[in-house]
Amino acid sequence: MARVPGNEDFFARRCVWVNGPIIVGAGPAGLAVGACLREHSVPFVILERADCIASLWQNRTYDRLKLHLPKQFCQLPKVPFPDDFPEYPPGSNSSTISIRRHLRLWRVRTSTEVEYICRWLVAATGENAESVVPEMDGIREFSGEVIHACDYKSGEPYRGKRVLVVGCGNSGMEVCLDLTHHDAFPFMVVRDSVHILPREVVGKSTFEMAVTLMKWLPLWMVDRILLMLAWLVLGNLERKDPRSGHRRPGKIRSGDIKVVPGVRRFSRGKVDLVDGRTMDVDAVILATGYRSNVSSWLQDTDFFAKDGFPRQPFPNGWKGKSGLYAVGFTRRGSPGHPWTP
- On whether the CB atoms of residues 184 and 209 are closer than 8 A, the answer is no
The sign of the dihedral angle between the CA atoms of 190, 193, 198, 204 is negative
Q: Are residues 31 and 101 in the same domain?
A: yes
Q: Are residues 255 and 271 in the same domain?
A: yes
Assess if residue 223 is contained within a domain. no
Band of the pLDDT at 216, cuts 50, 70, 90? Answer: confident
| 243, pLDDT greater than 50 | no
Q: Among 286, 301, 321, give the residue marking a domain's end.
A: 286
Q: Are residues 183 and 260 in the same domain?
A: yes
- On whether the CB atoms of residues 64 and 178 are closer than 8 A, the answer is yes
- For 305-332, the pLDDT digits (tens) are 888 889 887 778 888 888 999 998 887 6
Q: Are residues 41 and 166 in the same domain?
A: no
Q: Which of 56-65, 88-97, 206-215 is the least confident region?
A: 88-97
Higher pLDDT, 212 or 196: 212
Instruction: Assign residue 331 a region (left: φ > 0; alpha: ψ between -120 and 50; beta: otherwise).
Output: left
Higher pLDDT, 14 or 134: 134
Assess if residue 219 is contained within a domain. no
> What is the chain's percent helix, strand, coil content, to nearest 5?
25, 25, 50
**Burial class of residue 147 (count of CB atoms within 10 Å of its CB; 0-12, 13-18, 19+):** middle
Number of separate domains in the chain:
2
What would you measure as the largest C-alpha separation in the chain, in angstroms? 69
Highest mean pLDDT among 48-62, 93-107, 131-145: 131-145
Axis crossing angle, helix 219-234 with helix 206-213, rounded to the nearest 10: 150
| 77, pLDDT greater than 90 | no
Q: What whole-number distance in Å separates Cα of residue 179 and Cα of residue 161?
A: 9
Closest CA to 179 of 268, 271, 252, 263: 252
- For 263-290, the pLDDT digits (tens) are 999 999 999 999 999 999 999 999 999 9
Q: Are residues 189 and 110 in the same domain?
A: no
- For 224-239, the pLDDT digits (tens) are 887 777 777 666 544 4
Q: Are residues 23 and 116 in the same domain?
A: yes
Residue 114: half-sphere exposure toward Cβ, Cα within 13 Å: 12
pLDDT at 277: 95
Distances (CA, A) of 268 to 206, 225, 275, 283: 42, 45, 19, 11
Q: Are residues 255 and 281 in the same domain?
A: yes
The stretch 84-97 carries a mean pLDDT of 60
Q: Are residues 18 and 93 in the same domain?
A: yes
Closest CA to 30 of 1, 61, 60, 56: 56
| 189, pLDDT greater than 90 | yes
Assess if residue 218 is contained within a domain. no
pTM score: 0.76
For 72, list phi and psi in degrees, rounded to 5: -70, -20
Q: What whole-number distance in Å separates Cα of residue 194 and Cα of residue 176?
A: 16
CA angle 183, 186, 187 (to 5 degrees): 160
Band of the pLDDT at 5, cuts 50, 70, 90? Answer: very low
Assess if residue 201 is contained within a domain. no
Percent of the chain with pLDDT over 90: 32
The stretch 161-190 carries a mean pLDDT of 93
Q: Are residues 269 and 311 in the same domain?
A: no
Q: Are residues 278 and 137 in the same domain?
A: yes
Q: Are residues 180 and 243 in the same domain?
A: yes
Domain with 150, as residue range(s), is: 132-196+237-286
Residue 230: half-sphere exposure toward Cβ, Cα within 13 Å: 26
Query: Taking all residues of the chain, what is their mean pLDDT, rounded to a whole number?
Result: 80
Q: Are residues 308 and 171 in the same domain?
A: no
Omega into 315 within 30° of 0, i.e. cis?
yes
Which CATH number characterizes residue 269's domain?
Answer: 3.50.50.60
Higher pLDDT, 15 or 143: 143
Assess if residue 224 is contained within a domain. no
Assess if residue 208 is contained within a domain. no
Assess if residue 209 is contained within a domain. no
Assess if residue 167 is contained within a domain. yes
Pairing mode of beta strands 204-205, 200-201:
antiparallel
Query: Which residues in 287-320 are b (16+ Cβ under 10 Å) and which e?
Result: bbbbebbbeebbeebebbeeebbbeeeeeebbeb
